[in-house]
Chains A and B, each alone.
Chain A
Amino acid sequence: QKEVEQDPGPLSVPEGAIVSLNCTYSNSAFQYFMWYRQYSRKGPELLMYTYSSGNKEDGRFTAQVDKSSKYISLFIRDSQPSDSATYLCAMSWNSGGSNYKLTFGKGTLLTVNP
């Protein structure tokens, strides 16, 4: 069983749709949860950063963490064509005072059609 599982998609939605992206994980030590957006041929860009369980909202983006189920989600409201990208979940735990070692999912390819 991989540490982080993420449905690779591809996922295609019409403009304005609500998008739900998900990851599950097996390592209960993970405490920090992130979502990155990666455009084609570019490096990952941090979208959302959450510590432990709960929700976090930033504009059209909402991140949810359910540690009891080992499940995290990213919701995108009013999706736009510019949201078309690969979305990567990542997580880490506090090791030696730092949480730098990120474990990534494979990424979900999202296309938002105008």
Chain B
Amino acid sequence: NAGVMQNPRHLVRRRGQEARLRCSPMKGHSHVYWYRQLPEEGLKFMVYLQKENIIDESGMPKERFSAEFPKEGPSILRIQQVVRGDSAAYFCASSPPIYNEQFFGPGTRLTVL
């Protein structure tokens, strides 16, 4: 059973470009969570999604950031008009319908030049 998959593992963008980060949850998991780990900081919760629904986006920055988890395909975290401060590791986690624990992916490291 493959774990949580994230791609790309590394992403370089110039200021003003868009970044798209993808997350495929573990088989049988229908809940997805996104976290951001800034340099020298702990992981911060961003958003919790179920298929076609955003359940809690209380950790998402108000502008430029959006997330989706469509009926088919991976969850996408989208950052528009990236700035240097968006440089971080972005981790996705998934859990089964009956929550017990979150299983984390390897992360996408975003570098904004």
A88 contacts across to B, CB distance below 8 A = 42-43
Also in contact, A102 and B43, with CB within 8 A (given A42-B106, A45-B104): yes
Chain A nearest CB from B47 CB (Å) reads: 10
Q: Which residue on chain A has the smallest CB distance to residue B95?
A: A100
Number of interface residues of B (CB under 8 A): 25
Q: How far is the CA of A43 from the CA of B91 in the complex (A)?
A: 7
In the complex, how many angstroms separate the beta carbon of A86 from the nearest chain B beta carbon? Answer: 10
Do residues A104 and B44 form an inter-chain contact, with CB atoms below 8 A? yes
Q: Tell whether A44 pairs with B106 under 8 Å between CB atoms, given A100-B31, A100-B33, A101-B48.
A: no
Interface centre among B43, B58, B91 (most CB of A within 10 A): B43
Smallest CB separation, A27 vs chain B (Å)? 14
Interface residues of B in 16-55 (CB under 8 A from A): 31, 33, 35, 40-45, 48
A18 at the interface (CB under 8 A from B): no
* Residues of chain B contacted by A44 (CB below 8 angstroms): 43, 91, 104
Shortest Cβ distance from A99 into B: residue: B99
Q: Write out the residue numbers on chain B whose beta carbons fall within 8 Å of the beta carbon of A46.
A: 101-103
A46 to B102 Cα, complex, angstroms: 8
Closest chain B CB from A55 CB (angstroms): 19
19 A-B pairs in the complex with CB atoms less than 8 angstroms apart: A6-B42, A34-B101, A36-B104, A41-B106, A43-B91, A43-B105, A43-B106, A44-B104, A45-B104, A46-B102, A100-B95, A100-B99, A100-B102, A101-B59, A104-B42, A104-B43, A105-B42, A106-B41, A107-B42
Point out residues on B near A: beta carbons under 8 Å: 4, 31, 33, 35, 40-45, 48, 56, 58-59, 91, 93, 95, 99, 101-107
